[in-house]
Amino acid sequence: MLDEATGPLLEVRHVSQRYKGGQDDDAPAVLDDLSTTLSGGEIVGLLGRSGCGKSTLLRIVSGLIHPSSGEVVYRGAPIKGPADGIAMVFQSFALFPWLSVLENVELGLKALRVPADEARRRSLAAIDLIGLDGYESAYPKELSGGMRQRVGFARAVVTHPNILLMDEPFSALDVLTAETLRSDLIDLWCEGRLPIKTILMVTHNIEEAVLMCDRILVLSSHPGRIASEIRVTLPHPRNRLDPEFRQLVDNIYALMTRRPTSKQPGKEGAFPGTGIGMVLPRVSTNSLAGLVEEVAAPPYNGKADLPHLADSLQLEIDELFPIAETLQLLRFAELEEGDIKLTSAGRRFADAEVDARKKLFGDHLLACVPLAARIKRVLDERPSHHAPASRFREELEDYMSEDYAEKTLRAAINWGRYGELYAYDEDAQAFSLENPA
């Protein structure tokens, strides 16, 4: 299928990426000194949690953004901008709503000044290949999600790229549609009908990665590094119920829930940053309580296997992990080797009534979340028992980007409200100790 003798198709060399605006070296890194290579004939998966920088890495490879340091070498030359022969499929499909299916597919060729009749011929061939025959004159808004993503594929394939980049291409689709698209794509790939040498796909779905990829790069979060590299040698088509398949999935779960081996003092749990600068996820207290109850009840009785839990609760890891890790941060649960285990406090929480739960939650919040403790202390110390949110927001922005600061503050507001530690007035944008009588 291709000439593998000429060496790697693409090489990522010591790529690091920092938050925009952070010019000094101690700005938090999104990607940290990451190196890997892509050679022809393989599907490589970038697997990681949200915020681990996998989409950023994909955009660096595509030339859409420039890394803070390091370089990406494609066919012997460093990438300076979007390169010929690298095409991307987007999670949101990214179709132009004012162009028909055919025009959307032709767009890339037109930009390359391919003669009109050749562009037409190649586009029709790509549309045919991807299974969109008959939809040429439809507009994207007339199509279902699955058909829209097929247009996305056709648009990428029509340029005959060497490397096809896919950014969570199936995550905006429903389960059935996603499965059809995955197997169609794998079939085309296995039959050698795609004019593509290599696929690099980003996903947060462990099973999807095991189902499709020849090689999986598991990224750790904050900063993004390659935590491990897993080769999948199972022949296509792969069977999700195959014990070997299950074993691989379990192993990756264990890998992804392993505690960070960082020795920094004060570093707790899985969230980036330390002390007040810890980035908090926006997790609803209902989800937290729900997961505690689920794990406490039979059949788990206080200890559950995460892949099993994810399956039965129909949660993606991006949804399940933040909940589980928040419980870990609050010392209601422990995460180990792909299992979640309730602590004694977690069990008490599960058995308690509403008011006792809130009290327990508030106590743990004060003890385990430095930001909540800081807000409470400031309010206690001020005679007015009032403090504007901007005071804490600005403090957070010393440690993290504006977006993360806002998210973190929101999390602290919601958890603090549930734990009845403090009140927050949205109109005045201020914390206070008083509750409306």
Partner 1 sequence: MASKFVAFTSLGRRALPNQWDVIALSLIFGIFVLIVHASRGMVLPLPPPDTAPISLDYSYLPYYALRTTMRMFLALAASLLFTLTYATIAAKSRRAEVVLIPMLDVLQSVPILGFLSFTVTFFLGLFPGSVLGAECAAIFAIFTSQAWNMAFSFYQSLRTVPSDLAEVSEGFRLSPWQKFWQLETPFAVPALIYNMMMSMSGGWFFVVAAEAITVGDTTIKLPGIGSYLAVAIDQRRLDAVLAAVLTVLIVILLYDQLIFRPIVTWADKFRVELSASQSTSSSWVLGLLQRTVWVRRAFSPIEAAFEWFTSLRIDLPRIGGGKGESPTASRVIDVVWVVAIALLAFYAAWQTISFVSSSLSWHDLLETMGLTLITMLRVIVLLALASLVWVPIAVWIGLRPAVAERVQPAAQFLAAFPANVLFPIAVIGILAFHLDPDIWLSALIIFGTQWYIVFNVIAGASAFPNDLREVSANFRITGWAWWRNVILPGIFPYYVTGALTASGGSWNAAIVAEYVKWGNDKVAAHGIGAYIAKATEAGDFPRIVLGVAVMSVFVILYNRLLWRPLFGYAERRLRIG
Q: Which of 39, 131, 139, 368 binds partner 1 (CB under 8 A)?
A: 139
Give the C-alpha separation, 230 to 44, whole Å. Answer: 10
**HSE-up (13 A, CA, CB side) for residue 279:** 22
Binding of partner 1 by 96 (CB under 8 A)? yes
105 vs 365 by CB, closer to partner 1: 105
Question: Distances in Å between the alpha carbon of 267 and those of 276, 288, 416?
Answer: 11, 22, 21
Whose structure tokens read 């050698």?
192
158 vs 329 by CB, closer to partner 1: 158
Q: Which of 38, 102, 107, 409 binds partner 1 (CB under 8 A)?
A: 107
Type of residue at 388: P
Give the C-alpha separation, 386 to 408, whole Å. Answer: 20
147 vs 276 by CB, closer to partner 1: 147
Q: Which of 62, 68, 149, 203 binds partner 1 (CB under 8 A)?
A: 62
Binding of partner 1 by 81 (CB under 8 A)? yes
- CB contact set of 399 (below 8 Å; sequence gap of 6+): 28, 273, 276, 277, 405
Binding of partner 1 by 97 (CB under 8 A)? yes
Size of the site for partner 1 (CB under 8 A): 35
* Span interacting with partner 1, options 5-13, 70-78, 133-141, 316-324, rule CB under 8 A: 133-141
64 vs 227 by CB, closer to partner 1: 64
Binding of partner 1 by 355 (CB under 8 A)? no
Which strands make up the sheet holding 29-38, listed edge to edge? Answer: 29-38, 10-18, 69-74, 77-78
140 vs 273 by CB, closer to partner 1: 140
* Span interacting with partner 1, options 57-65, 247-255, 287-295, 416-424, rule CB under 8 A: 57-65
Binding of partner 1 by 24 (CB under 8 A)? no
List the beta bridge partners of residue 228. Answer: 218
Query: Do strands 215-220 and 225-231 pair parallel, antiparallel, or not at all (unpaired)?
Result: antiparallel
Distance of CA 106 to the CA centre of its chain: 31
Where do contacts with partner 1 occur on this chain (CB under 8 A)? 23, 59, 62-64, 81-82, 84, 86-88, 90-98, 107-108, 110-113, 139-142, 148, 155, 159, 426-427
